[in-house]
Each structure stands twice: as C-alpha cells, then as structure tokens.
C-alpha cells in the first residue's frame, strides 16, 4: 500500500460542509485534507457565467444573520456581501391562476373565513409535538386554508417537499422552539425577538464562498479524488481511504461530508446497520430551469420581487420561480431578464427526467399568463439535481439518534452536510463548524 499522505483528518466531500469543516480544523491546528470527487470545490454552490447571464446552479441567496457561523466565515474570508435590490422585497403566492403579493394580499389568499380561523389560534395555547408532520400541526392550529394555500407554498420554497411527510421539529427547529416557548404560532411569527436575518448573495455570486474557502485551504483540497472505499482502523488506529485512482490514503479521523447516501455506501461494508440508516434518507430531486428573456417580452414591465411559489392545489408545472435579475440586477445583461423555475420535488420527481425542450416549454407556458410574457425566451439552461434536497421526514430525529448511537462505535468518524441538521447554507456551515470544533477537541485532548 502506498502511504501517499497521512493527514490527521480526511474530510470526504468538498462541498460547503467539507470545506468549512476542514478550514475550521486547520485553523485550530489540526492537519486536515479534503478529498473531493469532482474537479471543482463547492458542491451544489456553483455560479455559472453564460451568455452575459450569471446563473446559480444551486442556492440563489442565503439568509445572513449577524453573529452566525456563516457571518463569522464571511468576516474571516473578507467576503463582499451583496444585498438584494429594494424592489426584490415583494414575494408572491399563486392562487387561482393569479399572483398575490404577500403580506399585502394575505386576506385575498386566505379569504375572510381562513383569516378568522387562523386568528383564533393566538387565543389558544399550542402544544407542540415535534415528531408530527408539518402539515398536521399547521392544519390543526391555523386551519385548512393556511395549510393548503400558504404553508404548502412555503414548504415547497424551502424543501421542494411534502408537508404531510416532513417532520415538524426536524424541518423547522427554530420555529418549533419559538412556538414551544410562546405557545402560539402567530405569537411565534409576529411576536418579535430572535435575530434579524436578511437575504443576501456575494459580489461575484454564491460561489465566492466556496472559492474563498478553497483558496484558504490551498493544496489541502484534493480535487478529482473520489473516495471509493474506507477501511476502519485496525490495531494501528488509522483509517485507510482508497480513491478512484487506486491510491490509498491514511488518516487518524474521517469526516464524511457527502450526502447520507454516499456515506452509507462507504460505511455499509463495515457497519451494515449504519449503512442502512444512512441509505434510508429520502431526497427530493429537482430541476432548475433558467430562462432569459428580452425586457420587451414583458409589455407591463419585467417582474419585480423575489419570486413566487405555487402551492400543490394550484397544479402548476413549476414549484415556483425566482426573479434573479430583479433580486440582483447584474445577473442578466442590460435589457434582459432572468427567471429561474424549480420543477419536480418530492411530489413530482418524474418531471425532473423530462427532456430539456419539454422542461423549457413547460416552464415558459406556466409563466406566460402569470407574468404577462408575450415572447419566447431567447436563452435557457436546464440543470438537474438528482440527489436533490434531503427530506427530514417523519422519523428523522429518531433516525439521527440511531445514527449517533452507531457512531459511538466508530471513534474518529464524524458526519456532516445537509442530510442531517439543516439544509440551508447557514445551517450547513454551522453544522460543519460544530463537527470540526468537537473533533479538534477530541484529537488534541
Ligand atoms: C437547487 C438548489 C437550490 C438551493 N437553494 C438554496 C438557497 O437559495 N439558500 C440556501 O440557503 N440553501 C439552498 N440550497 C441548499 C444548500 O445549497 C445545500 O444544502 C448545501 O450547499 C449543501 O452543501 P453540502 O456540502 O452538504 O453538500 P454538497 O454541496 O452536495 O457537497 C457534497 C460534496 O461531496 C462530493 N462527493 C460525493 N461523493 C464523494 C466521494 N465518494 N468522494 C469524494 N467526494 C464526494 C460531491 O462531489 C460534492 O462536492 C439549495 C440546494 C439546491 C440543490
């Protein structure tokens, strides 16, 4: 076996989670290398320049909160944060084929009965069962109109998921904790408190973040190093990782910062029960369809705002559509408009496999009447996220506890990434940092 390198920690996966984890380890004096399968660091965070457009492959933006782990990394890496244009505050929800502006048109969305039913909620005292479904909780507390017309859209926007399957406490831990303490969903939403979070991107697009992390890590990031197998420590206390080129690498500790599925495949030969727990993680595949239009295609003016979401009962081809060039004007050439549709998700995974032409036509047809578009797009791009968004469905918290239990039998093995404790960019960064701090503590103790 060629002992090519012997980092103390091998981080598998060079997405945001792996990069942050390795950077935190190294900043704490622990030697760590990142093994990334592809030729680029950043995973789903990827900004593409094409035909004068700046197109995001994964996240369009993030929620920026002062004092968060992500905020600390932004300061450490001296990243230029880009706030959205003022016009982009407007958010819309589709109802009966029309876009309603929220919160202004909330009464129209819910109707008088829906509003009355929801407002009664603040009079009661909510008991929260974090293991119930998101839909069951909101339906019982705020009524069917809120559940079907508002919550469904909100869940689609974040999870591309099914509210009847997502687990309340795992999918929305902050909100669950706030409802637990204020005893009301409405008081939790409108009662103030909690840190202010603002939508933002970076000056050069979302990829500024992984690029800066990769630069900070330098040669510790090993691209095109797909880890194909892992051998747990024998008597010499060392893990052996074998990469696709047949090379073996040794490490004292391993962090798997890949999806749970990949982690499960690597671990199954040595711990089938752990492999099975990891493989059981459901995901929602998603296609993003980016359309470029000339401004003249919108006789009433290009859409302004963050975008719109479509609740399931609207039976729209798209889950929602972002308005990137309203949010961040430099994402489209002058005189052009960029729109970015989400298609598929947990409830319509088959749509992700449709051909490019069908996806583009389906999105354009869905948008035409809603946004008053009179001409076809002049350019488009289809991206398929087959691994998609991990879904924290009923039983997620129990499964995580079982995974943690099995990990106790593998000292020196850690898991991080969006499969476990949060899918958003800030949550992924926070979890990776937490895992690195704990591991550094155990290695240097
Ligand atoms: C379409 C889309 C839109 C999103 N929009 C937003 C948004 O607007 N705001 C927000 O906050 N979040 C958003 N998210 C979520 C967020 O971007 C992700 O949850 C987060 O970036 C995931 O980071 P990660 O490091 O956990 O995983 P990944 O980015 O998936 O990284 C995993 C890495 O592991 C590598 N890998 C896999 N197998 C191996 C192996 N065997 N050996 C070595 N390397 C391997 C992969 O190549 C990849 O680079 C979005 C996600 C998607 C998909």
From first to last of the 445 residues of the chain, give the pLDDT tens digit. 434 444 699 999 999 999 999 999 999 999 999 999 999 999 999 999 999 999 999 999 999 999 999 999 999 999 999 999 988 889 999 999 999 999 899 889 888 888 888 888 777 776 789 999 999 999 998 999 999 999 999 998 899 999 999 999 999 999 898 888 887 787 777 766 667 889 999 999 999 999 999 999 999 999 999 999 999 888 788 999 999 999 999 999 999 999 999 999 999 999 999 999 999 999 999 999 999 999 999 999 999 999 999 999 999 999 999 999 999 999 999 999 999 999 999 999 999 999 999 999 999 999 999 999 999 999 999 999 999 999 999 999 999 999 999 999 998 999 999 999 999 999 999 999 999 999 999 987 7
User: What integer best gives the mean pLDDT of the chain?
Assistant: 94
- DSSP code at position 297: G
Q: How far is the CA of 46 from the centre of ligand 1 (A)?
A: 10
The angle, 0 to 180 degrees and rounded to 10, between the axes of the packed helices 396-407 and 272-279 is 150
- The closest alpha carbon to 430, from 67, 32, 70, belongs to 70
Q: How far is the CA of 69 from the centre of ligand 1 (A)?
A: 17
- Alpha-carbon span 323 to 321, nearest angstrom: 7
- Check residue 179 and give its pLDDT: 86
- Alpha-carbon span 338 to 323, nearest angstrom: 6
- Check residue 165 and give its pLDDT: 98
Cβ neighbours of residue 272 under 8 Å, at least 6 residues apart?
none
Q: Which ranges in the chain are annotated with CATH 1.10.3110.10?
A: 104-193
Residue nearest to atom 31 of ligand 1 (CA): 15
Quick check: bond before 103 cis, omega within 30? yes
Q: How far is the CA of 390 from the centre of ligand 1 (A)?
A: 10
CATH 3.40.47.10 fits 9-80+203-281+392-444, yes or no: no
CA 242 to chain centre: 29
- Check residue 150 and give its pLDDT: 92
| Structure tokens belonging to residue 345 | 């998700």
With a 6 Å cutoff on the Cβ, whether 391 touches ligand 1 is no
- Check residue 1 and give its pLDDT: 43
- Alpha-carbon span 275 to 288, nearest angstrom: 30
- At CA 340, angle to CA 338 and CA 345, rounded to 5? 180
- Check residue 3 and give its pLDDT: 44
- What's the whole-model pTM score? 0.96
CATH 1.10.3110.10 fits 104-193, yes or no: yes
Distance between start and end Cα atoms, the chain: 30
The angle, 0 to 180 degrees and rounded to 10, between the axes of the packed helices 16-27 and 425-444 is 40
Homologous superfamily of domain range 83-88+283-390: Protoporphyrinogen oxidase, mitochondrial; domain 2 (3.90.660.20)
With a 6 Å cutoff on the Cβ, whether 43 touches ligand 1 is yes
Alpha helices in 3-133 (DSSP H): 16-27, 69-76, 106-119
390 with 281: CB under 8 angstroms? yes
Q: What does the CA dihedral 246, 250, 256, 259 come to, rounded to 10 degrees?
A: 0
The tokens 């012997």 sit on which residue?
6
Q: How far is the CA of 380 from the centre of ligand 1 (A)?
A: 23
- Check residue 37 and give its pLDDT: 98
Q: Which ranges in the chain are annotated with CATH 3.50.50.60?
A: 9-80+203-281+392-444
Distances (CA, A) of 141 to 1, 25, 119: 61, 44, 10
| Structure tokens belonging to residue 341 | 């549709």
């Amino acid at each position: 076996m060629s002992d090519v390198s012997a980092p103390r920690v091998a981080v598998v996966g060079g997405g945001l989670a792996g990069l942050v984890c390795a950077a935190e380890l190294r900043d704490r004096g622990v030697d760590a290398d990142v093994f990334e399968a592809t030729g680029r660091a950043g995973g789903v965070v990827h900004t593409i320049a094409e035909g004068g457009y700046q197109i995001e492959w994964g996240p369009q933006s993030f929620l920026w909160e002062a004092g968060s782990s992500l905020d600390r990394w932004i300061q450490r890496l001296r990243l230029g944060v880009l706030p959205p244009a003022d016009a982009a505050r407007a958010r819309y929800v589709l109802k009966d084929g029309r876009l309603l502006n929220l919160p202004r048109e909330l009464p129209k969305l819910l109707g008088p009965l829906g509003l009355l039913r929801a407002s009664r909620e603040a009079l009661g005292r909510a008991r929260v069962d974090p293991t119930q479904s998101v839909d069951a909780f909101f339906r019982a507390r705020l009524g069917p109109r809120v559940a079907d017309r508002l919550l469904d859209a909100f869940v689609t926007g974040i999870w591309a998921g099914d509210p009847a399957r997502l687990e309340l406490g795992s999918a929305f831990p902050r909100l669950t904790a706030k409802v637990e303490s204020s005893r009301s969903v409405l008081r939790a939403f409108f009662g103030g408190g909690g840190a202010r979070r603002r939508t933002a991107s970076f000056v050069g697009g979302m990829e500024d973040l992984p690029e800066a992390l990769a630069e900070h890590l330098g040669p510790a990031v090993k691209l095109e190093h797909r880890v194909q197998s892992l051998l747990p420590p024998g008597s010499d206390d060392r893990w052996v990782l074998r990469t696709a080129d047949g090379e073996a690498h040794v490490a004292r500790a391993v962090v798997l910062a890949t999806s749970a599925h990949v982690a499960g495949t690597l671990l199954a030969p040595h711990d089938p029960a752990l492999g099975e727990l990891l493989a059981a993680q459901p995901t929602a595949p998603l296609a993003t369809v980016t359309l470029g239009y000339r401004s003249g295609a919108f006789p009433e003016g290009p859409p302004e705002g963050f975008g719109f979401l479509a609740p399931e009962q609207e039976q729209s081809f798209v889950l929602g559509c972002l308005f990137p060039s309203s949010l961040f004007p430099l994402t489209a050439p002058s005189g052009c408009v960029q729109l970015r549709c989400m298609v598929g998700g947990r409830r319509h995974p088959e749509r992700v496999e449709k051909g490019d032409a069908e996806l583009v036509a389906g999105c354009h047809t869905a948008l035409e009447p809603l946004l008053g578009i009179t001409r076809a797009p002049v350019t488009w791009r289809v991206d398929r996220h087959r691994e998609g968004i991990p879904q924290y469905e009923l039983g997620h918290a129990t499964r995580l506890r079982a995974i943690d239990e099995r990990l106790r039998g593998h000292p020196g093995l850690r898991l991080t990434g969006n499969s476990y404790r949060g899918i958003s960019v800030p949550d992924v960064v926070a979890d990776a940092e937490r895992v690195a701090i704990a591991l550094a503590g155990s290695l240097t103790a």
